[in-house]
Amino acid sequence: MPLSKSNATRRKVLKLTAASAALPLVHIRTGRAAGKVSIAFWDHWVPTGNDVMKKQVDAWAAKNQVEVQADFITAVGQKNILTIAAEKQAKTGHDVQAFPTWEVHNNAEAMEPIDDVMKQLTGQYGQVNSVCEYLAKIKGQWMAVPTSSGTQYKGPCGRISLLKEHAGLDIVGMYPAKSEHTKASDDWTWDAHLKAAEACKKAGKPFAIGLGTTTDSVDTAGTLFKAFGAELVDKDGNITVKSDKVRAVLEFGKKLVPVLPDDAVSYDDASNNRALISGHSALIWNPPSAWAVARRDAPAVAEDCWSFPAPKGPAGRFEPYLPYFWGVWSFSKNKSAAKELITFLMQRDNVQERCAVVLGYDVPPFQSMLDFKVWDEVGPPTGTVYNYPLRPFHEATAHIAALPAPPEIAVQIYNRGTMPTMLAKLKSGQSVDQVISWANDELEGFTR
Amino acid sequence: MADGSSVPIGAMAPASGAARQKGSLHKLARHRSTTAFLLCLPLILLIAAFVVYPAFYAIYLSMLNKKMTAFVGLNNFAFLLKRHTFQLVIFQSCLFAITAVVLKALLGFIIAHLMHNIPGGNQKIWRGLLLVPWVIPLALSTLSWWWMFDPSYSAFNWILNQFGFDNVPWLGVGWIARACTIVVNVWYGTPFFMIMYLAALKSVPEQLYEAASIDGAGAVQKLFFVTLPMMRNIIAITVLFSLIVTFADFDIVRILTSGGPQDMTHVFATYAFQVGIQSGDIPLGASVSLFMFPLLAFAAFFVLRGVTKRSKEIAA
């Protein structure tokens, strides 16, 4: 049909052209025609954790007509870290990766800034804690989104009866399953921890704290150092190991290490779990995974377990915290859809659904989400994990070992297990001076 | 034709075309080096893709700075040599590899001799049984060893306890842990030596022993003047091959100790993994893994040159 002159003015044609040019952009932003997105999740140790994640991803994919490939990559043998390293080198792979603790910093130059997603999420749910910021906000830009999947606190998990019987410690009274600060919790200090550890060792139920180089050992040692204000490297990258505070924590360490198990130096992340589940230990530092396994394999032990915050030191109370992040590669072919998927998965209902399925193991990064019922309800005993996520009345701060050192140095302190190795050296009979000298030499290598 | 018979002109034409074609194929096939090359080509391509390229890429990576943005030459190697922990890693890698290879060679030699003297079908059964450690995937068998050394529930400690002895922290004390890693490597690698030496023993002509007996040689003299010289090439190649593989070992140390306690069992591969992958310093990790390359290449050159020389002498 021929267009009449009045219908096809120059202005109308320009408008139509501009509108049609803008269409594909709008289309991509919604993710609807984005085609395909691939995402690598951390393979949850609770199988149903993967199932619920898959269900949520499928729901988003169906709604947005995007083909989503979700892979679950195990952390066993650090396969997830190897996959991340390989994808970074090859500049191809998944669009979205689950980055454990230090991997955002290790791979930041190959990642897409994600401030827009964080702006939306923090607008909805409030700020995240300082550890998340330290690990994922680089040069003022968020490079990944702190997620709940795999994020954990690693405070003490003790046997109620054994601690009461051998150390006179009423951990349920100290940290009841309700939003209440108790006087007894103020007395939960590292000295009290040492006293209880000595008593339990005497009773043949030692605190199963490792001095190896795997994360459980590193996180516990890290929080002990922090509680004494002992920093190996300060925030500006200066080596500060030859300080009074480091000396003080090592002096304390000299008293602590003899009451730890004889084989503590060869502990890995499973050793402490086994010690608790088998009934050989009165206390470990771990997320509730050990309790969850005991629930299946040793119900009597599980019924006697209680998670509670870390003890307080001269510099405060610090709780070991290991967050996971979801980030988008800069070489991703579908960044907008990838960001939309992350935003969707971090919505409160979805986080809550996933959290409930894994018995509260996954901790959301937002304080506003700590009112999920799962921590009140799961058991036995009911309320065993109520105090597992940090709550305001705990008066504790989330902490990761080696903070506040610049992350490129901290990652080496963490992964080389410098702090537990310092304690292990004390256990092998070395003096405080020898240990400090060794650590100084190591740190010089890390700060190159 | 030479025999005086005649053939009509043109009758041979199609046949001669086919013959020419057949002839050219035969010629190509007769060109043995071409055939050999073509047959080897898939393997060459695989090696190029999965060995040569990664090796050169690793060399390239080892010469970059931590952020992989600048070329730093051999600075990473110089830096490593100054670090106390890396000096410890060099010592441990050498201790681990040399001790394990010597023990494997000795045990393999002894077992091969014992095996050689087992008559008939029984030898096959024993040979099969002794190969089991080498056939099981190393990661799996090392996991079994780890359970036996386990810090808290060691099977060995249970046995010791039954006899009234105290627990031994198998993987918790440096020198014991070092010994444990070596024992597992020896357990795994001895069958390889055994089977190689057995094959070499079977190829020693019986007449040599008979001649030595006639000359009045005893068992020890036969061993030193007949068996060992005849096995020299296979011993050299086996030791070289095993040394290279043992220096590159990762599984055993990673599964048993992860390099602990206090870094006292780290070998090049586990340390490279910790530095390169876990701590995000891939160039330094690449430098660690390449550290022994020049030394091993040097050793390989001389060992293989010796083998070639001796082979030529035997052939002559």
Q: What superfamily does domain B81-315 belong to in CATH?
A: MetI-like (1.10.3720.10)
Residue A61 vs residues A73, A118, A127, A133, A210: alpha-carbon distances, Å? 20, 21, 28, 30, 43
**What is the distance in angstroms between the Cα of B193 and the nearest Cα belonging to chain A?**
30
- Where among A334, A369, A404 does a domain terminate? A369
Write out chain A residues lying below 8 Å of B172, CB-based.
Answer: 262-266
Inside any domain, residue A12: no
Inside any domain, residue A20: no
A36-42 and A67-73 strand pairing = parallel
Q: What is the CATH number of the domain that holds A179?
A: 3.40.190.10
Inside any domain, residue A3: no
Closest CA to A102 of A445, A447, A402, A442: A402
pLDDT of residue B314: 72
Write out chain B residues lying below 8 Å of A415, CB-based.
Answer: 274, 278-279
Write out chain B residues lying below 8 Å of A109, CB-based.
Answer: 67
Inside any domain, residue A24: no
Residues of chain B with a CB closer than 8 angstroms to some CB in chain A? 66-67, 79, 83-85, 151-153, 167, 169-173, 177, 257-263, 274, 277-282
pLDDT of residue A34: 55
Overall number of domains in chain A: 2
Same domain, A147 and A159: no
Q: Is A102 on the interface with B (CB under 8 A)?
A: yes
Report CB contact under 8 Å: A266, B79: no
- Chosen from B149, B152, B154, B289 to mutate, greatest number of chain A CBs within 10 A: B152
> What tens digit of pLDDT does each residue of A410-427 get?
999 999 999 999 999 999
The contacts of residue B95 (CB under 8 Å, 6+ apart) are B178, B182
Query: What gap in Å lies between CA A437 and CA A239, rounded to an integer?
Result: 12
Inside any domain, residue A22: no
Report CB contact under 8 Å: A264, B172: yes
- Where among A369, A402, A434 does a domain terminate? A369
Between A and B, how many residue pairs show a Cβ–Cβ distance under 8 A? 88
- The ranges of chain B with pLDDT < 70 are 1-30, 151, 316
Strand extents, DSSP E, chain B:
none
Inside any domain, residue A359: yes
Same domain, A79 and A207: no
Report CB contact under 8 Å: A411, B280: yes
Report CB contact under 8 Å: A271, B172: no
- Chosen from B84, B278, B282, B284 to mutate, greatest number of chain A CBs within 10 A: B278
Query: What gap in Å lies between CA A86 and CA B52, rounded to an integer?
Result: 18
- Where among A369, A396, A428 does a domain terminate? A369
Partner B, chain A 368-427, Cβ-Cβ below 8 Å: 408, 411-412, 415-417, 421, 424-425
Handedness of CA A225, A229, A232, A234 (dihedral sign): positive
Same domain, A241 and A301: yes
pLDDT of residue A208: 96
- The ranges of chain A with pLDDT < 50 are 1-6, 17-32
Same domain, A145 and A290: no
Write out chain A residues lying below 8 Å of B263, CB-based.
Answer: 421
**What is the distance in angstroms between the Cα of A151 and the nearest Cα belonging to chain B?**
18
Same domain, A83 and A112: yes
Report CB contact under 8 Å: A265, B258: no
Same domain, A304 and A195: yes
Q: Is A106 on the interface with B (CB under 8 A)?
A: yes
Nearest CA in chain A to B79: A445
Same domain, A299 and A441: yes
A96-100 and A141-142 strand pairing = unpaired
Q: Give Cα B267 distance to the centre of its chain.
A: 17
**What is the distance in angstroms between the Cα of B264 and the nearest Cα belonging to chain A?**
11
Same domain, A330 and A405: no
Same domain, A53 and A140: yes
Handedness of CA A271, A272, A274, A280 (dihedral sign): positive
pLDDT of residue A16: 52
The contacts of residue B228 (CB under 8 Å, 6+ apart) are B235
Domain of residue A88: give its range.
Answer: 34-151+323-369
